[in-house]
Amino acid sequence: MRIHLLPTQLINQIAAGEVVERPSTVVKELLENSFDAGATHITVEIEQGGTRLIKIRDDGCGIVKEDLPLALSRHATSKISVLQDLEQVTSMGFRGEALPSISSVARLTLISRIADTACAWRVSADGSEQHADPEPDPHPQGTTVEVRDLFYNTPARRKFLKTEKTEFTHIESLLQKLALSRFHIGFTLTHNQKEILKLKPANSVAEQEYRVAAICGTEFINNAVYCDVAALGLHLTGWVSLPTYSRSQADMQFFYVNGRLIRDKLVSHAIKQAYQDVLFSGRHSIFVLYLSLDPNLVDVNAHPAKLEVRFREGRLVHDFLFSALHRSLAKLRPETSASENDSTSPAYLLPESTPPSFPHYPKEQATLPFTVAETLHAYSLLHPIDEQATEFPPPTQSIPPLGFAIAHLHDIYILSQTANGMVLVDAHAAHERVIYERLKQHYQQGAIPNQPLLLPIKIKVTAAEADLVEQQQEFFVLLGFELSRSGAESIVLRASPALLAGTDVAGLIADVLADIKTQGMSSRIQTQSNELLATMACHGSVRANRHLTITEMNALLRDMEQTERSGQCNHGRPTWIELTKQELDKFFLRGQ
The CATH number covering residue 129 comes to 3.30.565.10
For residue 342, being part of any structural domain is answered with no
77 phi/psi in degrees, rounded to 5: -155, 155
**pLDDT of res. 173:** 95
539 and 501 in contact (C-beta within 8 Å)?
no
**pLDDT of res. 79:** 67
**pLDDT of res. 517:** 74
**pLDDT of res. 140:** 96
Q: How many residues can be counted in the chain? A: 592
Residue 160 CB coordination number (10 Å): 9
Q: Pairing state of beta strands 186-191 and 41-47? A: parallel
Residues 224 and 167 in one domain: no
For residue 586, being part of any structural domain is answered with yes
Residues 430 and 413 in one domain: yes
Residues 17 and 159 in one domain: yes
Residues 187 and 230 in one domain: no
Residues 179 and 77 in one domain: yes
Listed in sequence order, the residues at least 6 apart from 155 whose beta carbon sits closer than 8 Å to its beta carbon are none
Pick the closest to residue 340 from 420, 275, 244 (CA basis).
420
State the Cα–Cα distance between residues 58 and 35, nearest whole angstrom. Answer: 9
278 and 246 in contact (C-beta within 8 Å)?
no
Ordered strands of the 482-487 beta sheet: 450-460, 490-497, 482-487
Residues 375 and 472 in one domain: yes
**pLDDT of res. 335:** 59
Listed in sequence order, the residues at least 6 apart from 517 whose beta carbon sits closer than 8 Å to its beta carbon are 464, 465, 468
Q: Among the three residues 286, 314, 330, which one is the final residue of a domain in this structure?
A: 330
Residues 373 and 286 in one domain: no
State the Cα–Cα distance between residues 443 and 326, nearest whole angstrom. Answer: 18
pLDDT in tens, 447-490: 899 989 888 999 988 888 898 898 888 888 888 999 999 999 89
pLDDT in tens, 118-168: 999 999 988 666 667 899 999 999 999 999 999 998 888 888 999 999 999
The CATH number covering residue 428 comes to 3.30.1540.20
Residues 187 and 224 in one domain: no
**Helix H or strand E encompassing 171:** helix 164-179
Pick the closest to residue 320 from 229, 224, 226, 227 (CA basis).
229
Q: What CA–CA distances, in Å, run from 235 to 227, 325, 518, 567, 571?
A: 10, 12, 38, 27, 30
SS3 229: strand
459 and 504 in contact (C-beta within 8 Å)?
no
User: What's the whole-number average pLDDT of the chain?
Assistant: 82
Tally of CA atoms within 13 A in the half-sphere of 221 that contains its CB = 17
Residues 380 and 460 in one domain: yes
Q: Among the three residues 182, 199, 216, which one is the final residue of a domain in this structure?
A: 199
Residue range of the domain that includes 503 = 365-592
Listed in sequence order, the residues at least 6 apart from 194 whose beta carbon sits closer than 8 Å to its beta carbon are none
**pLDDT of res. 256:** 96
236 and 291 in contact (C-beta within 8 Å)?
yes
The CATH number covering residue 275 comes to 3.30.230.10
Q: Tally the domains of the chain.
A: 3
pTM above 0.75, yes or no: no
Listed in sequence order, the residues at least 6 apart from 275 whose beta carbon sits closer than 8 Å to its beta carbon are 243, 285, 325, 329, 572
For residue 347, being part of any structural domain is answered with no
Tens-binned pLDDT, residue by residue, of the chain (592 aa): 889 888 877 777 776 776 788 999 999 999 999 999 999 999 999 999 999 999 999 999 999 999 998 888 877 777 666 666 566 666 776 666 788 889 889 999 999 999 999 999 999 988 666 667 899 999 999 999 999 999 998 888 888 999 999 999 999 999 999 999 999 999 999 999 999 999 999 999 999 999 999 999 998 998 899 999 999 999 999 999 988 888 888 889 999 999 999 988 999 999 999 998 788 778 899 999 999 999 888 887 655 556 778 898 999 999 999 999 988 888 776 753 323 333 322 233 333 333 333 333 333 532 222 222 233 343 333 334 444 444 555 555 688 999 999 999 998 999 999 999 999 999 998 998 999 989 988 988 888 999 898 889 999 888 888 988 988 888 888 889 999 999 998 999 999 888 887 777 888 888 888 877 776 655 455 556 777 888 888 888 877 668 899 999 999 999 999 988 888 887 778 899 999 999 999 888 887 7
Residues 132 and 219 in one domain: no
Pick the closest to residue 457 from 489, 483, 488, 476 (CA basis).
483
Residues 135 and 231 in one domain: no
Pick the closest to residue 171 from 27, 385, 352 (CA basis).
27
Ordered strands of the 421-426 beta sheet: 404-409, 413-417, 421-426, 576-580
Pick the closest to residue 252 from 209, 215, 287, 217 (CA basis).
287
Q: What CA–CA distances, in Å, run from 41 to 38, 187, 207, 210, 471?
A: 9, 6, 16, 17, 67
